[in-house]
Structure 1
């Protein structure tokens, strides 16, 4: 059975890129969200095996959403996505329970590697 993934990013183009990488590699994308609050709601609805979460988003950022999801679901597997130069935020995310992080622009093999590692 395919692993279910929730994609969270405020940029539709980025969501599309990740979705493309995932579906080509046998993952099932069960939902997409464009901000942290929507991510929390979609997590509750879809119970994904894994979440890819952008750090910088309007309304609620990815780190706040990560903490909220981890509080409700301590076993949630979340990989943060960040642009270059967000090292401090990445460290916050890892301390808050993120499994890994991938840097934009996405490289397909790195995305799959991070996801496989987080799911094992």
Structure 2
């Protein structure tokens, strides 16, 4: 099934020549524009700047630099670019680490052609929805038409996750009134703005989400706090719930789950 609408530009980064050839042919056959294929981790950011892909299919274990380092760099400098992370690693925690680092999708090798296309379609659909929401949020703010929307603060140290959530929340009728990159900023935003909802990343610098949560609840007791995490840990969930969190959403973020969760939260 070919992708509908605008052709998505894809950069492939994998040290295996056969994998680069297979992905290039498969994606081209489905209507993606493969703008480049690199064999090592050196020069990826320069290629992103030059080729302007919307998606990077990024291998983990590369000559030169590993994929996690490159993922962090892309998210920091190009949060609008989605990264589909690919690996043959058997590390138990790698999928959680990748999700927490802001990857839009994850594939563990070996994978089938159907798995690649399904994951890419999910990435594309998520980003399209987020872009629509970001456009609507900007227009509503300019027109001062957000007065009746539930207010929300996003706290996550990853710029790509913040951009994605901002768009999805706006698409769902929420007004994003502030964004924070660490726990201290989240506490200040909650105290000043008293938002109805606050989405709080578990792992952040300076002050973690779990450290910030009781301060947020103290300054803004009516705010419903939802944790954002790359790993569903029973211990972390129990701790967050005990501190007053209303639940959690898991990275990589999927619109259908977020929509269902928010509707349930606002209806409670």
* TM, length-normalised to structure 1: 0.92
TM alignment of 1:1-120, pairs within 5 A: 1-120=148-267
* SS of match in other structure, 1:59: coil
* SS of match in other structure, 1:26: coil
Contact preservation (8 Å) 1:78, 1:98: yes
1:38-83 per-residue CA deviation (whole Å, 9 max, x = no partner) reads: 0011112222110010000010000111111112333220000111
User: How far apart, in 1, do the equivalents of 2:229 and 2:256 lie?
Assistant: 16
User: How far apart, in 2, do the equivalents of 1:8 and 1:116 lie?
Assistant: 20
Q: Based on CA coordinates, which of the two structures has the bigger radius of gyration?
A: 2
Larger displacement relative to structure 2 (36-45 or 67-76): 67-76
Contact preservation (8 Å) 1:15, 1:32: yes
Larger displacement relative to structure 2 (33-42 or 83-92): 83-92
When the two structures are aligned, how many residues end up with a matched partner?
120
Q: Unpaired runs of 5+ in structure 2?
A: 1-147
Deviation (angstroms), 1:13: 0.5
Contact preservation (8 Å) 1:79, 1:115: no
Calculate the aligned-residue CA RMSD, in Å: 1.3
Q: Does 1 or 2 have the higher relative contact order (CA < 8 Å, sep 6+)?
A: 1
Deviation (angstroms), 1:85: 4.5
Deviation (angstroms), 1:87: 3.2
Q: Unpaired runs of 5+ in structure 1?
A: none
* TM, length-normalised to structure 2: 0.43
Larger displacement relative to structure 2 (84-93 or 59-68): 84-93
Deviation (angstroms), 1:24: 1.3
Contact preservation (8 Å) 1:37, 1:60: yes
